[in-house]
Amino acid sequence: MTKNPFFEPKWHTLFELPRFSEIRPEHFQPAFERGLEEHSAEIAKIAENPEQPSFANTVTAFERSGETLRRVSRVFWNLSGSDTNEALQKIEREISPKLAQHRSAIYLDAGLFKRIDALHAARQILGLDAEQLRVLELIHKDFVRSGAKLDEASRKRLTEIVSRLATLTTSFGQNVLKDEADFTLVLEAPGDLAGLPESLIASAATTANERGLPGKHVLTLSRSHVEPFLQTSTRRDLREILFDAWTRRGENSGATNNMNIIAEIVALRAERAKLLGYDTFADFKLDNTMAKTPAAVRELLDRVWQGGLRRAQADRDELQKLADSEGANFAIAAHDWRYYIEKLRKQKFDLDEGEVKAYFQLDNIRAAAFDVAHRLFGLTFAEVKGLDVYHPDVRTFEVKDSTGKHIALFVADDFARSSKRSGAWMSNFRGQDRLDGDTRPIVINVLNIAKPGADHPALLSLDDARTLFHEFGHALHGMLSDVTYPRISGTSVSTDFVELPSQLYEHWVLQPEILRTYARHHETNAPMPDELIERVLKMRTFNQGFATVEYCSSAYVDMDLHELPPPAKVDPEKFERERLAAIHMPREIVMRHRTPHFAHVFSGEGYAAGYYSYLWSEVLDADAFNAFEEKGDIFDKDVAARLKEHIYSAGGRREPDAAYIAFRGRLPTPDALMEKRGLA
């Protein structure tokens, strides 16, 4: 084996970016082993320290520990999500339970918890500053929620559960990725392309070449293929084939079927919650969020659902009339909705997705996101070429503040490929902290935009453009972080608060002054005409019934599954069907994330009993953007300064409620959200 790059204490590269060209799959296993061994020794040293516990020798030491493991983990998990292969997937299956067991061993270490507990009991007389006090409280809570106060038998069982869950969630994600990677819809006859825009045809041709089918056109299950095809293809039979494959990921027969995995995950989560003293997993999970209780989540969901359902039902009736007027001899089905809603959009607003897409070039929209960050927070972005990156499509940008000081390295990985899981996300290769100097972050945004043909620019749909701004909002949350301790750095906040910086940032993408500058026709470079901008803005609440129903239905099923008391025995397919029937789910709409491929919930635990978080944060973001509108300036300097200080730079320094009040002066109500969605 070549020299292991993870065994060096730091990356000796520009910005200390990992040396990806030197990293091989065979480096990870020994690097993980060394990282685990080092971390265990560091924890033992803290726990066995004969000195009286202090913040420095216990909490700060705990925060510093595990650096090797942290470095290898960040590289590995980023690559396993964005550019995986069979070797990495094998390592993922082997290392996931080991990492889970390692974490359990730390948080169930009696000696370490005794020191943490003693400091927590005396926290008011230790002379800690506000950030130190917050870190101590969070660490203590993590230990308790991880079982530190349980008896020995319960600890043993909890460790078994956590390890098994790590194995199951890894298998779930890999099954979905395999279903996505294995499927192709080959378009061979000229009629197969009927209705498709040139940008999709070019992308499908590029994909065909990559799949060894030159001269043909191939669609994958990338959302950037599925959505435009369903919107524009006149071939109802092909729309049904693609839609069925898209919605049945993780549900196909054979080794990639996720139903038994889901059932076991739900049961183990419920058992884990009971061991920790909670009635259900939802109660356990929500106890550590803004919402606090399942009842609070349902109150918000119910309010939004009713308005969304009414809108969706009215839209469905319009779509059926439209189809009937064209001589359709069928009832509108789920694979028809996007096709006919585009026709209705054209009819109502003289506007279709393709007309708007022509003005949304990827590079321009990213430049718009950079410009908004400059006008709000004084940041500048300069592309850095020639860095050692993990894939040729990856781009890197140095970020500086208004004084020219280096703030972060921003990494962009935009295009869909079979080695990348679907969706879009933000992560980092290094977080921000000030424990040992000013460590600046390396933040990455991963998107899944269909790669264009060689002579075509990458064009974005409105949804793609919003997604780019959304993920960049997360990136700013990481890049602007200004705290001392890793525990509260960047996006380390509750799940129903973490979406505030990202969803708030989406508001700027459709502001007229942004569109006039950055929405330029990909052929003529002409700016988007004012009358087209006006039509785009008029349709902002168009099809919001559909969007609300497909989202809320997923959030309901997530909550329903995780409110099952132990022993939670469930048939996921039957459960999904019955729960959707109970809320009167229209048969013409499918959940945004059906249970067998609901990666937010089952490919990890971050959004389990937490998918509602996007809606909860939307209440915050709608009200937060109103703070700018009330000033009559969407770049008001005072509001932007408060936003940066209390939200984007603050990490988890405060409880989310307190952070929002510090920014806005009060907590919001759902009124702004209902108005934003056109459901008031």
Nearby residues of 63 by Cβ (< 8 Å), 6 or more positions away: 135, 433, 435, 485, 486, 487
- Is 471 considered catalytic here? yes
Q: How long a stretch of residues is the chain?
A: 680
> What is the C-alpha separation between 232 and 311, in angstroms, rounded?
23
Token digits of residue 615 = 């809606």
DSSP state, residue 453: P
> What is the C-alpha separation between 677 and 680, in angstroms, rounded?
8
**Residue 670 identity:** P
CB count, 10 Å around CB of 584? 10
CB count, 10 Å around CB of 382? 10
> Alpha helices, DSSP H only, in 183-222?
198-210
> What is the C-alpha separation between 400 and 495, in angstroms, rounded?
28
- CA distances to 148, 202, 211, 331, 648 from 216, rounded to whole Å, are 59, 10, 10, 32, 47
> What is the C-alpha separation between 235 and 201, in angstroms, rounded?
14
3-class secondary-structure state, position 521: coil
Token digits of residue 381 = 């972005």
Q: By the 8 A CB rule, do 195 and 234 touch?
A: yes
Q: How many CA atoms lie within 13 A of 453 on its CB side?
A: 16
With the CA atoms of 454, 455, 457 and 458 taken in that order, what torsion angle do they form, in degrees rounded to the nearest 10? -30
> What is the C-alpha separation between 262 and 168, in angstroms, rounded?
8
DSSP state, residue 660: H
Mapping DSSP onto H, E and C, the string for 600-650 reads HHHCCCCCCCCCCHHHHHHHHHHHHHHHHHHHCCCCCHHHHHHHHHHHHCC
DSSP state, residue 217: E
Q: Is the previous residue joined to 5 through a cis bond, with omega within 30 degrees of 0? A: no
- CA distances to 64, 179, 405, 447 from 12, rounded to whole Å, are 20, 39, 20, 28
Tokens 């969070």 belong to residue: 138
Q: Of residues 131, 227, 471, 588, which has the active-site annotation?
A: 471
Sign of the CA dihedral with 275 first, then 277, 282, and 288 last? negative
**Residue 166 identity:** A
Q: By the 8 A CB rule, do 325 and 229 touch?
A: no
> What is the C-alpha separation between 224 and 653, in angstroms, rounded?
37
The number of angstroms, rounded, from the C-alpha of 386 to the middle of its chain's C-alpha atoms is 28
Tell me whether residue 373 is exposed, middle or buried, using C-beta atoms within 10 angstroms of its C-beta: 0 to 12, 13 to 18, 19 or more: buried
> What is the C-alpha separation between 382 and 171, in angstroms, rounded?
39
> Alpha helices, DSSP H only, in 480-598?
495-506, 512-518, 530-538, 544-562, 572-582
Which residues are known catalytic residues? 471
